[in-house]
Amino acid sequence: MTNLALDLRELHCSFGDRQVLHNVALQLEAGDRVAITGRSGHGKTTLLRVLAGLQDADQGELKLHGRIAMQGGQSTLAAWERSLQLVFQDLGLWPTRTVAQHLMDALAAQGIRGAKAKQRSAETLKALSIAELFDRKPSRLSGGEARRVALARALVSRPQLLLLDEPFASLDAESRADGFALLEQVLAESNAAVVLVTHDHEEAKQLNGRILQLNEEGQLR
């Protein structure tokens, strides 16, 4: 397999005496899509956090676009150097930043600022039908609005690898359709690889990629 966007091998991760991930391997080329399903507590979010560089593991090797990101379970490449975006299950919005600032902060990390950043942010919010939220702070957002903002923040920077942790949870059918439409647009433009974690099998199928299950033994099948 060539042009690997993600090459994960022999990942083991535990919390105390409890092993959460056991010998997990995952390889994705640019443009690949994979949905990971499984019950709560089986390690799906832990897997995403390891991939994002937010958590070390007991053992494992990870390369992202040919760059060594983890050796022996220990991160060797900082999260902000991994050319990826993660939509957190708990969203991770900053209470003091407006919706526009959240998106422009993500663009600034890639060196995109000023009028270009403002325009792309506005276009992304419009695509998700939340353009009117441009100047609001998280305290003035509903749960569904906040989730759409978190998705917009991840998509606006056109990442090479997109990690999605239950990104459409609590959204109504129309908002979920808007989110998938924008996701399709971004993936078509960027050829990014995407890993979607979800409890919803229909949502997993809608990604139009491989579907894998993380079982109770912490194995990916």
* pLDDT per residue as tens digits for the range 53-64: 999 999 999 999
Written as six digits, the tokens of 150 are 């978190």
pLDDT at 1 over 50: no
**Domain map (residue ranges) of the chain:** 4-213
Fill in the DSSP letter of residue 50.
Answer: H
pLDDT surpassing 80 at residue 134: yes
- Per-residue model confidence (pLDDT) at position 2: 56
CATH of domain 4-213: 3.40.50.300
- 105-114 tens-digit pLDDT: 989 888 899 9
Structure tokens at 68: 């060594």
Which residue from 160, 154, 150, 131 is spatially nearest to 3, judged by alpha carbons? 160
pTM of this structure: 0.83
Residue 3 above 70 pLDDT?
no
pLDDT at 90 over 80: no
Which pLDDT score, from 0 to 100, does residue 52 have?
93
Q: What single DSSP character describes residue 112?
A: -
pLDDT digits (tens, 9 = 90+) for 183-219: 887 777 778 899 999 988 888 998 999 999 998 888 8
pLDDT at 124 over 50: yes
> Cβ neighbours of residue 152 under 8 Å, at least 6 residues apart?
99, 103, 121, 124, 125, 128, 130, 182
